[in-house]
Structure 1
Amino acid sequence: MTDMKPIHAPIRGAVHTGLIHDSAAKHVTGRAAYTDDIAEPAGTLHAYLGQSDVTHARIRALDLSAVRAAPGVVAVLTATDIPGANDVSPTGKHDDPVFPETLIEYHGQPLFAVVAETRDLARRAAALARLDAEPLPHALDPEAAITAGHPMVTEPLTLRRGTLAEGRQAAPHRIAGTVRIGGQDHMYLEGQISFAIPGEDDTVTVYCSTQHPSEAQHMVAHVLGVPSNAVTVQVRRMGGGFGGKESQMNLFAAVAALAAKKLDRPVKIRPDRDQDMTATGKRHDFVVDYDVAFDDTGTIHAVEGTFAARCGFSADLSGPVTDRALFHADNAYFYPHVRLESRPLKTNTVSNTAFRGFGGPQGVVAAERMIEEIAYALGRDPLDIRKANFYRAGRDVTPYHQEVTDNVILRLVEELEARADYRARRQDILAFNRDSAVIRRGIALTPVKFGISFTATHFNQAGALVHVYNDGSIHLNHGGTEMGQGLNTKVAQVVADAFQVDIDRIRITATTTEKVPNTSATAASSGSDLNGMAALDAAEQIKARLVSFACETRGVAPEAVRFVPNAVVIGEEVVAFDAFVKSAYMARVQLSAAGFYKTPDIHWDRASGTGRPFYYYAYGAACSEVEIDTLTGEYRVMRTDLLHDVGRSLNPDIDRGQVEGAFVQGMGWLTTEELWWDDAGRLRTHAPSTYKIPLASDVPRIFNVDLVAWNENRERTVKRSKAVGEPPFMLGISVLEAMSMAVASVDGYRTCPRLDAPATPERVLMAVERLKGGGA
C-alpha cells in the first residue's frame, strides 16, 4: 500500500443526488435484455394457451384431437398432466387452477396449453379445440353479484371508531350517495412471458417477467410436486409491471415449467396482447355507497361506507386490496365517527389483482367524493372543506386506530396553493365560465396521504447479497425486481455511499432465488425501503470487518478508520480502496455478506381492525386545471402542478420521473381507460385498439413537478427517504375533481355532478345534460 493525498471530490452516484437509471441507455437503444431476448437453446418449444369461449359453464367434454393432430404440435397439456397441485393461488386458498377440470368460471379462462415447434403453430392449433359445456348463469359486476347472491371470495374487513349515531346527532347535514370506480388494465410494455429450461433430476430454471420471484418459485414447485430448492427463478428486468406481474405470472411460469419437465426440452410461453388482457386480472372495480354527516363549517362528524369490489372468480389478492381501500378511505381527513366495510365479491370475470396503489386509490376517490358533496351542498370552495378536515393535533387517529404522527399535509398543500396561484386562478375560471357558452373550465387541488408497508406484516422483510472482490469491484444482488422504476440504481447508490466508492465499481446482477431466498414481492412502494436497508446491512457487515482489519494491522482505534471517496483513511494514512481491499483479501478477511432487514414497529390485528399497519405516510398534492366542451364531453388538461414528499430522496431525478409517470397513469385510470364487458361476459376492450391509455398529447399542457425540499422521514428508513412508487398515483384524482367543477358550472355549481370513473367524454356529456335538465 502507498500513501495518497486525501481525496475530497464526492463519489459519483452518491445518495441524495440525481443519477441516470442504470439501464437508461440500454432501454433507448434496444440493448436492454428482457426474457424474450434470451438466446433460445436448440430444441426450444413454444407454448400457447387455449381459452374458454363461454363465461360460466360446466364442462361436458373437451375435444382436443384436432389440436394434437395440428402441424408442429408436440404436446397438449391439461389438468391431468399436472403431477403436483392444480393451483396457482397466491394466498393458498386453492381456488385458482392452472386448468379447470369441471367448471369454467370466466370467458377467456385457460383450459389447456399447446406446445409446438413454433409459437405461431401453437397459436393456430389452440383455436382447433372443441368445447361442449352446459351454460350457467353469470354475474359480471359487483351489483349483479349482489343481486345473484354471489359469495365473497375472501373474508371482508370492517373498520370502526366512535359511534355513528353520536356523530350524526351532532351534525345538521347528511348526504348519502354512490360512486362507481372503474378498473384498469396494467398495459405494461412487455407482456407476460416465461422461459423454462429443464435441469437434472427434478430441477428447472425459469426466466420470467415477475415482480415476485419467490412466489413464482413456490407456485412452480407446487405444480410440479417438487420442493422449492428444485426451482430457480431469475429476473433481470421487466418492461413494466404495475402489480400485474405480482401474482398473475404464476400461471405462465407454471405452464412453461410443466411443459419443460414433461418434454425435457426448453419451453417458452408468450401470449399475444389480446390473450394477455383477457386471461390476466386488472385493477378492482368498486361500487362505494357512502353516508357522510357534517356541520355548517363543512367539518365531517360521521362517515359510513360500504366498498363492494369486482374480484373475479378467485380470491387472488382481493383480500389485501379491498383491505387497503378501507385503509385509505380517509385519505388526509379525520373522521370522528366512522364505520367502513369491504365486500370482496365473486364475479364471473378474470380474477382481479394487484395494481399500483393496491386498492388505496379507490378509497381516496371515495374520500374526495364526500368532500366534493359537502362543498357543493354548502356552496364552498372544495379546498376549504379539505383544509377543515385535515388531520391535525387532537384529530389524528385513523379509522384503524393508528396515530398520524408525521403529518405535513397542511404545510404541503398551502405551499402548492401558493406556487400554483390557486385562488386567483379559481376566480379567473369562475369569471370565464360566466361568459363562455360552450367551453367550461375547472380547477381542483387535492391531497394524498398514503401508508407505506405491506399490510401483511410478514412481507415486510428483505435480503441482499454483497461481494467485494479483491480488485475492489463490488457485486450487488437483492430480492427486489427492476421493472423500470430505478430500484437497482437506488440500491446501488446506497451501497456506493456506504463504501464511499464511485457507482461504476458496482455490478448489479439479476434477481434470482438462488442468491437471495424467501423474497417479498416488489410492490407496496417498499422496494427501496426494504432492499436498500438489506443491502446497507450487508455493506456495513463487510465494512466492520475491514475496520477491524485496519485496527489490527495499523494499531489504531476504530474511530481512526474512515471511508472517504474511493479511499480509506487509517490514522494519518490514506489508502486507495482497491489496494486496501486487496490487502484485506491477502489477510483472509471475509469480503462477502448477506444482509437482512425487517420493518420495525408495525403490527396489525385484522380481527379487531386495529394496529399500526404502516411504518410511515407519504404525502403529496396536485393542482389541475381542465377545459371541457359541453357539446361533446371532450376535455383537455391545461395545467398541472405537483408537489410530492419523498423524504430525503435517494435519487431526485428518478423520483421526479416516478411522480410524473404515476400522475399520468392515475389520470388515465380516471378519464380514458375504460374496461367493458358485453352481456355475454366477453371483455371487448382487450387491445390498444379498444383500450385507451394516455398519450403524449394527453399530458397537461403545462406540467410542473417538484419534490418537497424541507422534509425528511422521521422513521429510520434508508437514508431517511420515503417511498415513491404508489403515492403519487392518486395525484391524478385532481383531474377528475377539476372536471367535476367544470361540469357543475352548467347549473351554477348548485349540484355535485357525481361523475363516475372513468370520466370518459360520454360520461362527461351525460353529466352535463343531466345538470342542464335539472337532475342530480
Structure 2
Amino acid sequence: MRKLIDTHHSKNPEQALKNEQRTRPGKVKSKGQTGQSMKHDSAEKHVTGKAVYVDDMPEYPNQLHIAVGGSAYAHAKIKSIDLTSVRETLGVVDVITVHDVPGHVDIGPVFSGDPVLVEELCEYVGQPIFAVAANTMEIAKAAVAKASIEYDVLEPTLNVEKALADKFFVRPTHQHVRGDSAKALAAAPHRIQGQQHVNGQEHFYLEGQVCSVLPTEDGGMTVYSSTQHPTEVQKLVAEVLDISINKVKVEIRRMGGGFGGKETQAAPLACIAAIVANKTGRPVKYRMSRTDDMVMTGKRHPFFNRYDVGFDDQGIMLGSDIMVAGNCGNSPDLSDAIVDRAMFHSDNAYYLNNATVTGHRCKTHTISNTAYRGFGGPQGVILAELMMDDIARHLGEDPLTIRKRNLYGIKHDHIRTAAGEVDPRNQTHYGQTVEQKVLPELIEELEQTSNYWQRREEIKQFNANSPFLKKGLSLTPVKFGISFTVQFLNQAGALVHIYTDGSIHLNHGGTEMGQGLFVKVAQVVAEEFQVDLDTIQVSATNTEKVPNTSPTAASSGTDLNGMAARDACLRIKAGMLTFAAEHYGAAEENIYFDDNHLVVIKDSDKESASEEKLRIPFADFVQQAYMGRVPLSSTGFYKTPKIHYDRETGKGRPFYYYANGASVSEVLVDTLTGESRLVRTDILHDVGRSLNPAIDKGQIEGAFIQGMGWLTTEELKWNDQGRLLSNGPATYKIPAVGDTPFEFNVNLLEDRPNREETIYRSKAVGEPPFMLGISVWSAIRDAVASLADYNYSAPMDTPATPEEILKSVHNTKDFMRNKNAIAKGQKV
C-alpha cells in the first residue's frame, strides 16, 4: 500500500533515495510520465510550420517597424548628429534618441554600462544611437542610412593582450587559491607552460532577435519577446518607461533557438520598441535582420588562457598556476559570472592539487559578449584538456592514461598532503567536494564500448603507413557544475489548475527554445497525478501567471521548474487525498493515483485481512472533489538547497551537483591542406534518472555538434577597426549535416540516479554535453602529434580551421627538424 512521501531536503540522501524509490508508480504507467521517451510537444508544429513564433503573430493595425542607426566606429565621441533627412523620409513616423527615454537610460542586466541609446561615447561598431519608426521595416532601414553624424575618433582596444597590458577591465580580477602553487611548481619533477586563444561563437539561432509591443489603455505595455528571461524584459521595459513593473506583461510561447543569446540580448529590442510605442501610442515591432543581429548582439566570450603546471613522472599534477582572461567586450553584461564559471571549470574532471586560478574580465571596444551554452565553462574546460594533452606528450604517454590518473577520486598513496595524510583528491580548488564520482566507471565503460585501445593501435599503424593523411583519436570527459553561480537566481515558480473534466493546465517560469522543457515539466505533472500526458496543457510563459522568474539558463530549467510544478501538484494532491479519505472512509495512506484513476483500498472486515479496492476514473474523482469544495489550483515554488559561495575567500559550494559525460572522437586530417573530417564519435553521458531519454539524447547530439562547430569551423573575424567581417551565413560556417560523424553512437549512463534530491533524481542535460565536442579538437591535435611520434604537442588555437591546423602541422615539422638537427650535432 503506497503512501505519499515528500522526500525533499532529507538529511540522509541515501535514505531519501530509498523512500523516493518506494513511492514510485507500480507496473502500470499512464502514457507519457517521466522516464518514457516522448516526442517534443511542438514537434509536429515545427515540421509542418504551424508553430507560431513572435514574427508569425498577426500584425496590429497601424503597427510601426523599427530600424536602428549604430556607431560607425569602435571607439568614438559623437560631435554632432543631424537626423533631419531621416525624419523627412516618406513613411517615417518618428525618430527617437536617448533624450526621448522617459526613465532609466542604462539597461545593464547586472551592472551599469549598457545605454539603451548612446548619447555621446560610442564603444563598439554598431552601438545603437537612434531608432527609426516607420510604416515598414524597409523604409526604416533606408531612412537610417540618411543620418549625418560627426565623430571624434578615439583609439580602440580590440584584443585581450592589450587589455591585460593596460589593466583595462569591466570588473575586478578574481582568484582561487589552494595550497602553495609556486612552491609546488618549483619542486615538481616536470614543469611545462602553455597558452591558447579560444575564439568566440555566434549563437546563430534560426529565429533572430524579435519583439512586438502593444500599448495598453492603462499606460502599460504588452510585450511579446523572443527571450529566455521574460522577467528581465518586464523589469527593464518598466524602468525605461518609468512605470511600475505590474503595468508590463511579457509573454513568450517559444523561441527558434536561444543558446544564451536571448538571456540579456532580447531586452534592448523590447526597450526601444516600448519607448517608441509609448511616444506614438501605436503598436511597434522590432525584428533584426541577420546582419544586424550578428553585428549588434553579443556572442560567446573569446578567451586567452595560460597555464604553468608541475607534475610527477606519472603525469599527476602537483601544482598549477592558471590564468583565464575573458574578452568581455565593452560592458560587464554577464561577464563577471561567466569568467567565474571559466575559473570554476579550469580543472574540468581533474584534481589540480596546489593551485592558483586567476580570472580577468578584459574590456575591449567590441560588442559586449554574453551568455552562451556553457556560460564560460567550455573556455575553462578546454584549458584543462590542453594541459592533459601536453603533459602526455611531454612524458610520451597516451593522453587517456594521463587523464585517468588525474581524475577526482583516484587516490595515489605516494602523494601526501601537508598534514601527512593520503590525498583524498576529491575537492575542487574552490572548496567543493565532488561527492558523486561516476567518471572513473563511465570512462572505463566508454573505453570498452568504443574499443579505444584497439583503435589506438590501428590508428598508429595507419599513420605509420600514410605520409599525408593522419588519423587522430581522443577521449575527453566533462564534469560540469549545475546551478546559477548567483545564488538568488536558483528559484522558480509554477501554477497548476485541474479543471472539472480532469484536464490539467500548467504554467511555469521556464521558456521553451526547442530544448523540450515544456514536455519534461508536463511529464512531471503527469507523474504526480498518474495521468496521460495528453491531458496536460502547457501555456505560454507569462509574467502575469508566474512572477519574478529566473532566466531559462544554466541548464537549470527542468531542475527548477520541474520541482516548482511538483510542489504545486503536491499541494493540490494533499487536499484531494484528505477529501478522498473522508469521502470513501479509508485511511489516507491507502489512497493513491494510478493509471488515470484514483485507487482506494478499504478494509472490508476489520477482523480479517480482506480488503476492497476501488478504482475511480480521475475525471470522475476531480468532479467529486470540486463538488466537495476542494482547491484544485495551486502555485508551487522551489529554491535550490545547499549552494553558497564566499567571494572574499573564493571558497564554497556554487553548484548543487555535477553532471558528467565523456566522448571518443576519431578524425582524419590532411596535413597538406589542413582539412579535417570527423569519422566517428561515441558518447556516454550521465543524466541521472532520465525524465525523457529521447529528449535527453537529442540534447546531447545537438550540444556535441554545436561544440564541435565552435572548435572547428565557426570563426569570428573583425578587421583592425573593430568591424565584424563574419556577419552572415556566407562568411560564418556552422556545422551542417555533412559535418556530422559517419558513425555517431550516443548512450545514457544507466543506473546512476542523482545523489542529490533533484526532480526524480534526474540531472541537467542542456549545457554539459556541449563540452564533449572538445574531443574533436583534441583528436585533431592527436593526428598532428603523430608527425612527431607523439612526443610533441604543437599549439593550436580554436577554431581548428584548415589554416590553424596547417600552422600546427608546420610547427610540428619544425620541431622535428630541429630535434633531428640537434641529434646530428647541427646548429638549429
Task: State the TM bucket, normalised to the shorter chain.
Answer: over 0.9
Per-residue displacement from partner, 1:242-291 (whole Å, max 9, x unpaired)?
A: 00000011100101111111111110000100000000000000001110
Residue 450 of structure 1 pairs with residue 480 of structure 2? yes
Residue 124 of structure 1 pairs with residue 142 of structure 2? yes
Q: List aligned pairs for 1:59-458, cutoff 5 A.
A: 59-91=78-110, 93-147=111-165, 149-392=166-409, 394-458=424-488
Per-residue displacement from partner, 1:93-148 (whole Å, max 9, x unpaired)?
A: 2210011111000011111110000111111111111110000000111012224x
Deviation at 1:155, TM superposition (A): 2.4
CA distance in 1, matches of 2:697, 2:187: 44
CA distance in 1, matches of 2:234, 2:646: 29
Is contact 1:447-1:621 (8 Å) kept?
Answer: yes
Per-residue displacement from partner, 1:396-436 (whole Å, max 9, x unpaired)?
A: 01010001111111100010000000001011111111111
What TM-score comes out, normalization by structure 2 length? 0.92
Is contact 1:475-1:507 (8 Å) kept?
Answer: yes
CA distance in 2, matches of 1:369, 1:210: 35
Aligned with 2:783 (options 742, 758, 765):
742
CA distance in 1, matches of 2:779, 2:28: 48
Residue 764 of structure 1 is matched in structure 2 by 805
Deviation at 1:37, TM superposition (A): 1.1
SS at match of 2:695: helix
Deviation at 1:747, TM superposition (A): 2.2
Q: List aligned pairs for 1:512-531, cutoff 5 A.
A: 512-531=542-561
Residue 550 of structure 1 is matched in structure 2 by 580
Runs of 4+ deviating beyond 4 Å: 6-9
Residue 706 of structure 1 pairs with residue 735 of structure 2? no
Q: List aligned pairs for 1:556-571, cutoff 5 A.
A: 556-571=586-601
Aligned with 1:507 (options 537, 546, 551):
537
Deviates more, 1:745-754 or 1:722-731: 745-754
Residue 683 of structure 1 is matched in structure 2 by 724
Deviation at 1:570, TM superposition (A): 2.1
Per-residue displacement from partner, 1:483-505 (whole Å, max 9, x unpaired)?
A: 00000000000000100110111
Deviation at 1:297, TM superposition (A): 0.5
Aligned with 1:498 (options 519, 523, 528):
528
Is contact 2:300-2:370 (8 Å) kept?
Answer: yes
Deviation at 1:151, TM superposition (A): 2.3
Per-residue displacement from partner, 1:207-260 (whole Å, max 9, x unpaired)?
A: 000000001111111111111111111010000000000001110010111111
Q: Which runs of 5+ in 2 are unaligned?
A: 1-24, 412-423, 602-612, 819-828
Tell me the amino acid that sits aligned with residue 49 of structure 2. Answer: G
CA distance in 1, matches of 2:455, 2:748: 22
Is contact 2:253-2:511 (8 Å) kept?
Answer: yes
Is contact 2:112-2:332 (8 Å) kept?
Answer: no
Tell me the amino acid that sits aligned with residue 513 of structure 1. Answer: T
SS at match of 1:412: helix
Residue 754 of structure 1 pairs with residue 795 of structure 2? yes
Per-residue displacement from partner, 1:506-545 (whole Å, max 9, x unpaired)?
A: 0010001000001000000000000000000001111111
Is contact 1:7-1:567 (8 Å) kept?
Answer: no
Is contact 2:73-2:124 (8 Å) kept?
Answer: yes
Deviates more, 1:583-592 or 1:187-196: 583-592
Aligned with 2:491 (options 449, 461, 486):
461
Root-mean-square deviation over aligned CA pairs: 1.2
Residue 478 of structure 1 pairs with residue 508 of structure 2? yes
Per-residue displacement from partner, 1:602-645 (whole Å, max 9, x unpaired)?
A: 11111110111110000000000000101100010000000000
CA distance in 1, matches of 2:736, 2:200: 19
Residue 36 of structure 2 is matched in structure 1 by 17
Deviation at 1:201, TM superposition (A): 2.4
Per-residue displacement from partner, 1:684-709 (whole Å, max 9, x unpaired)?
A: 00111100000100001110000101
CA distance in 1, matches of 2:172, 2:271: 27
Deviation at 1:169, TM superposition (A): 4.1
Deviation at 1:200, TM superposition (A): 1.6
CA distance in 2, matches of 1:229, 1:35: 22
Residue 599 of structure 1 pairs with residue 617 of structure 2? no
Tell me the amino acid that sits aligned with residue 667 of structure 1. Answer: M
Deviation at 1:460, TM superposition (A): 0.4
Tell me the amino acid that sits aligned with residue 257 of structure 2. Answer: G
Assess, with a 3 A threshold, how the Cα gap between structure 1 residues 50 and 9 changes in structure 2: closer, same or farther: same
Per-residue displacement from partner, 1:349-398 (whole Å, max 9, x unpaired)?
A: 00000000000000000001111110010011000000110001611010
SS at match of 1:774: helix
Residue 656 of structure 1 pairs with residue 697 of structure 2? yes
SS at match of 1:398: coil
What TM-score comes out, normalization by structure 1 length? 0.98
CA distance in 1, matches of 2:686, 2:791: 35
SS at match of 1:153: strand
Is contact 1:445-1:734 (8 Å) kept?
Answer: yes
Is contact 1:286-1:310 (8 Å) kept?
Answer: yes
Residue 610 of structure 2 is matched in structure 1 by none
Per-residue displacement from partner, 1:278-327 (whole Å, max 9, x unpaired)?
A: 00000000001110000111000001111111101100000000000000
CA distance in 1, matches of 2:751, 2:442: 10
CA distance in 2, matches of 1:628, 1:8: 51
CA distance in 2, matches of 1:169, 1:79: 56
Per-residue displacement from partner, 1:8-43 (whole Å, max 9, x unpaired)?
A: 752110101100000000000000000111111211
